[in-house]
Structure 1
Amino acid sequence: MLNRARCRLTWTLRRTRAPLSAIARRCHRTMRSLSLAVQSKRAKERSRTFDQALLELLVGPLSKKPLRYEASTNELINEELGIAYPIIDGIPNMIPQAARTTHQNKKQEETEQH
């Protein structure tokens, strides 16, 4: 992405009749802003991801059992109770009222029907 932007900028600046020092300043300023934008985007992505090392420390607030991280839904799953706790901006929301029920409750309903 940066390389394509650099090439496009260089090509555009070569067509201008500005002195070489002005072109160099513009290039430097533009590349610095592009670099900062990429760094900012990466920092935001890192802050939103869940640090899986926390799984060693976290347990379910109701059952006190270990939790499993599900990357596809970005949730912490309590298999025993069938509850999924959402992770928002990299922070697990461990409030039971904020959790959703998972497929475990469906299994209980099926056994009750038989």
Structure 2
Amino acid sequence: MLSGARGCLASALRQVRVPGAGRCLHGSRRRLRPDGSQQAQAPARDFDPGLLEFLVCPLSKKPLRYEASTNELINEELGIAYPIIDGIPNMIPQAARSTRQSEKQEDPEHH
């Protein structure tokens, strides 16, 4: 008796059509308002500089500086910059780039 009920339920669920079903929610870029109408989703978020109070470099544990022109968090001491993607800092050391000139451009008097 239970298996018969499962079969009926599964059949009924296959027949139900949900508007927008099968579309990726993240790709739609639309959001429903409480009244059911749609609005365009806000563009990617900017970094909140207030977070600098809580963030430190994972390598040196020192404070970071936000550089708006490159959208990065800079560690001056180590000479590295962490990218910010959609308002979220990527603080994985392997994702950081060097901000210093190459080591080959050292002072020639040291050779």
Q: Normalising TM by the smaller chain, what interval?
A: 0.5 to 0.7
Q: Which residue of 2 aligns with 1:61?
A: 58
Q: Which residue of 2 aligns with 1:87?
A: 84
Matched, 1:98 2:99: no
SS at match of 2:66: strand
Q: How far, CA to CA, are the matches of 1:86 and 1:68 in structure 2?
A: 12
Q: Which amino acid letter does the alignment assign opposite residue 86 of structure 1?
A: P
The structure with more helix, counted as a fraction of residues: 1
Q: How far, CA to CA, are the matches of 1:100 and 1:85 in structure 2?
A: 7
How far did residue 111 of structure 1 move?
A: 4.2
Q: How far, CA to CA, are the matches of 2:57 and 2:84 in structure 1?
A: 14
Q: How far, CA to CA, are the matches of 2:47 and 2:105 in structure 1?
A: 34
SS at match of 1:55: helix
Deviations 1:86-113 (A, max 9, x none): 001110000000000002xx28654443
Consecutive unaligned residues in structure 2, runs of 5 or more: 1-36
Q: Which amino acid letter does the alignment assign opposite residue 113 of structure 1?
A: P
RMSD: 2.0
Q: Which amino acid letter does the alignment assign opposite residue 98 of structure 1?
A: A
Q: How far, CA to CA, are the matches of 1:96 and 1:69 in structure 2?
A: 16
Deviations 1:56-84 (A, max 9, x none): 00000111110000001000000000000
Against the structure 1 CA distance between its residues 62 and 83, is the aligned structure 2 distance closer, same or farther, given a 3 Å change threshold?
A: same
Paired residues for 1:39-78 under 5 Å: 40=41, 43-45=42-44, 47=45, 49-78=46-75
Q: How far, CA to CA, are the matches of 1:99 and 1:93 in structure 2?
A: 8
Matched, 1:113 2:103: no
